[in-house]
Chain A
Amino acid sequence: MAQSQTPARVGSNGTRHLWIAFLVMAGFFMVAPLAIYPVFLMKVMCFALFACAFNLLIGYGGLLSFGHAMFLGTAGYVSAHAAKVWGFNPEFAILAGTVASCALSVVTGFLAIKRQGIYFAMITLALAQMMFFFYLQAPFTGGEDGIQAVPRGVLFGLFDLHDVTNMYVLVLVIFLASFLAIWRIVTSPFGQILKAIRENEDRATSLGYDTDHYKHLAFILSGTLSGLAGAVKALVFQLASLTDVHWSMSGEVVLMTLVGGLGTLFGPVVGAAIIITMQNYLAQLGAWVTVVQGVIFVICVLSFRRGIVGELSSIIRKPL
């Protein structure tokens, strides 16, 4: 019964509207810098990637992580440190940050998947808080100041990233490539098993799947891609700070995904764009931003659980 609704069907007919949506999205981000401030767009793309990576875990694996800021922040700190202190080229700085987050997700994922549901959320939150205190005290992070004036460097020794166009193209390429990778993961046999575990873990086990192994792998993929987002973000803003490891950042990525639509391909991108835009316009209101975010949380949970893209996809009766 549920089969007819799953986006599992592979083939030109089943995915054509997804490709159209993808081209619209790619086209938008290619043309938009003509009209919109590029740094703002780069911020949106970084958070969109972060939210897509987070969605991989909750939307397809059914695991709600409340500590994803630790991957964003860790990669940010490591790539900023690598670029500034060790003098790494940007490609290696990004790689170093991503690898660091990957390693962190191997360890934290191993611990977190020992429990499910609400406990999983609490454990990831607690582990992220531990990382927060670690970065607060560690000497290389600069404490409250963070790592400032991170050099963007020259990509592959050819493209000077201090030029906004070069930086923009790099972010765009990384974002689109990661999006395609996530899309591929979701529709792969691995993604299908992940969905099976989300729907009924006991049955997946009885079919012979080592569910812990799959959940761990999903956690690592999600953490690593979140790390990639954090590493790129550190270069874009030339800053790595405590904001990115704080629990409120973990909450924000949950909110973005929820607003856009849990378990939809394009939802996290739409959600990230909306939340970032909102923060931009409400920035002068100070603490009201928190209140507004809380209200959106409450409304989404009570009466808008499918999110924007989820609602759209139920209107056109096709997965998005």
Chain B
Amino acid sequence: MEIFGIPTAALFGQLLIGLINGSFYALLSLGLAVIFGLLNIINFAHGALYMMGAFIAYLLLNKLGLGYWWALVISPIVVGAVGVLIERTMLSRLYKLDHLYGLLLTFGIALIIQGLFRNEYGSSGLPYAMPDVFRGGMNLGFMFLPNYRAWVVVASLVTCLTTWFVIERTKLGSYLRAATENPALVQSFGINVPRMITLTFAFGVGLAAFAGVMAAPIYQVSPQMGADLIIVVFAVVVIGGMGSIMGSIVTGFGLGLIEGLTKVFYPEASNTVIFVIMAIVLLVRPAGLFGTQK
């Protein structure tokens, strides 16, 4: 079978890879958007913390013998705790300053984390064994679907939609949205806003660690895995605009798919297509697809 002269198996295979990449874009840009909403800071260390999440999974398996499911729970908690530490000791001193200082600080933190892991584990990637449950795959007739990849897409979608639901549809989320609009007023209603900010940051970087654990069996675990990814995610964030939670989810998955399609039809541009789309969006709709210009 062929579509536009491309074998369908290849087409759907690339689309699946696109969907997988999109899952990671969505999880990471969602975390960035949640953090940005409340802290007004773009977390440059997001990629480094995603990498840290993957490394914790690797260490849990190889040092302590704790498997994938444990990693999926423990890694976000550990990285979330690191997030609490970063927010309490450093970021919280910068809220009164220009927001660019937050970007510079987190860039420095990213360099430290990446440098430390590179010292310890070198630059080459470390393999993370696929959990036994997910070995093999299903034959869907038009393509072969490896189980693990199906799981990544589903788990990412569920996580993203749950986050959206909590923020947009629950009482807790309404506090969060209110604090985004006017922190002083919310504080005067007796809600501990500084603690909420800390926990939001921890949650955001926890999402990054969760993505890191899910990425470990697919990509090699390496100190650089987060650095290049985060730049693409920045472009995704610019395209979507950070105004809307659902916006970052849709943009993340959508751009993953477009990247997959580009790999099929014009492979040379697959690295750059997202940046080109960003340039076009800036020309046509500078605030981003889902954003509102201040």
Interface residue ranges, A against B (CB under 8 Å): 64, 66, 111, 114-115, 117-119, 121-123, 125-127, 129-130, 133-134, 136-137, 247, 251, 254, 258, 286-291, 293-298, 300-302, 305
Residue B282 is within 8 A (CB to CB) of chain A in the complex: yes
Is B268 a contact of A137 with CB atoms below 8 Å?
A: yes
* B104: contacting residue among A115, A136, A247, A254, CB under 8 A: A254
Is B99 a contact of A117 with CB atoms below 8 Å?
A: yes
Is B235 a contact of A302 with CB atoms below 8 Å?
A: no
* A301: contacting residue among B105, B228, B232, B276, CB under 8 A: B105
Is A287 a contact of B234 with CB atoms below 8 Å?
A: no
* B279: contacting residue among A111, A258, A286, A294, CB under 8 A: A111
- Across the A-B interface, give the 9 residue pairs with the lowest CB-CB distance, nearest first: A297-B108, A294-B111, A290-B115, A294-B112, A291-B115, A130-B275, A126-B235, A287-B118, A133-B271
Proximity string of chain B (88-104) to chain A, C-beta cutoff 8 Å, 1 when within and 0 when not: 00100110010111011
B90 contacts across to A, CB distance below 8 A? 298, 302
* B111: contacting residue among A126, A137, A291, CB under 8 A: A291
B268 contacts across to A, CB distance below 8 A? 137
A251 contacts across to B, CB distance below 8 A? 107, 111
Residue B237 is within 8 A (CB to CB) of chain A in the complex: yes
Residue B278 is within 8 A (CB to CB) of chain A in the complex: yes
* A302: contacting residue among B103, B105, B116, B282, CB under 8 A: B105
Tell me the minimal C-beta distance from A212 to chain B in angstroms: 11
A265 to B101, CA, bound (A): 20
Residue B188 is within 8 A (CB to CB) of chain A in the complex: no
Tell me the minimal C-beta distance from A256 to chain B in angstroms: 13
Is A122 a contact of B94 with CB atoms below 8 Å?
A: no
A295 contacts across to B, CB distance below 8 A? 108, 112
A209 to B255, CA, bound (A): 38
Give the A-B pair count, Cβ closer than 8 A.
Answer: 119
* A121: contacting residue among B100, B112, B115, B227, CB under 8 A: B100
Interface size on B, residues (CB 8 A): 43
15 inter-chain pairs at a CB distance below 8 angstroms, sorted by A residue, are A115-B286, A125-B234, A126-B234, A126-B278, A127-B275, A130-B272, A137-B271, A247-B227, A288-B119, A291-B111, A291-B119, A293-B115, A301-B108, A302-B90, A302-B105
Interface residue ranges, B against A (CB under 8 Å): 36, 41-42, 90, 93-94, 97, 99-101, 103-105, 107-116, 118-119, 227-228, 231-232, 234-235, 237-238, 268, 271-272, 275-276, 278-279, 282-283, 286
Is B103 a contact of A291 with CB atoms below 8 Å?
A: no
A117 contacts across to B, CB distance below 8 A? 99-100
Tell me the minimal C-beta distance from A70 to chain B in angstroms: 11
Is A297 a contact of B104 with CB atoms below 8 Å?
A: yes
Query: Which of A122, A125, A258 is packed against the most chain B CB atoms within 10 Å?
Result: A122
B104 contacts across to A, CB distance below 8 A? 64, 254, 258, 297, 300-301
A123 contacts across to B, CB distance below 8 A? 238, 278, 282
Tell me the minimal C-beta distance from B92 to chain A in angstroms: 11
A118-B99, A130-B272, A298-B90 are contacts. A111–B105 as well, Cβ < 8 Å? no
Is A247 a contact of B231 with CB atoms below 8 Å?
A: yes
A192 to B93, CA, bound (A): 31
Is A298 a contact of B119 with CB atoms below 8 Å?
A: no
A121 to B36, CA, bound (A): 14
* B118: contacting residue among A127, A130, A133, A290, CB under 8 A: A290
B108 contacts across to A, CB distance below 8 A? 293-298, 300-301
B278 contacts across to A, CB distance below 8 A? 123, 126-127
Tell me the minimal C-beta distance from A181 to chain B in angstroms: 26
B116 contacts across to A, CB distance below 8 A? 291
Task: Report the nearest A residue to B111, measured CB to CB.
Answer: A294
A117-B100, A133-B272, A298-B105 are contacts. A122–B42 as well, Cβ < 8 Å? yes
A290 contacts across to B, CB distance below 8 A? 111-112, 114-115, 118
A111-B282, A129-B275, A137-B268 are contacts. A118–B103 as well, Cβ < 8 Å? yes
A301 to B36, CA, bound (A): 19
Is B275 a contact of A126 with CB atoms below 8 Å?
A: yes
Known: A251-B111, A302-B94. 15 other contacts (CB 8 A): A115-B238, A118-B99, A118-B100, A121-B42, A126-B235, A129-B228, A254-B104, A290-B118, A293-B111, A293-B115, A296-B108, A297-B108, A297-B111, A298-B108, A301-B94
B36 contacts across to A, CB distance below 8 A? 118
Tell me the minimal C-beta distance from B132 to chain A in angstroms: 35
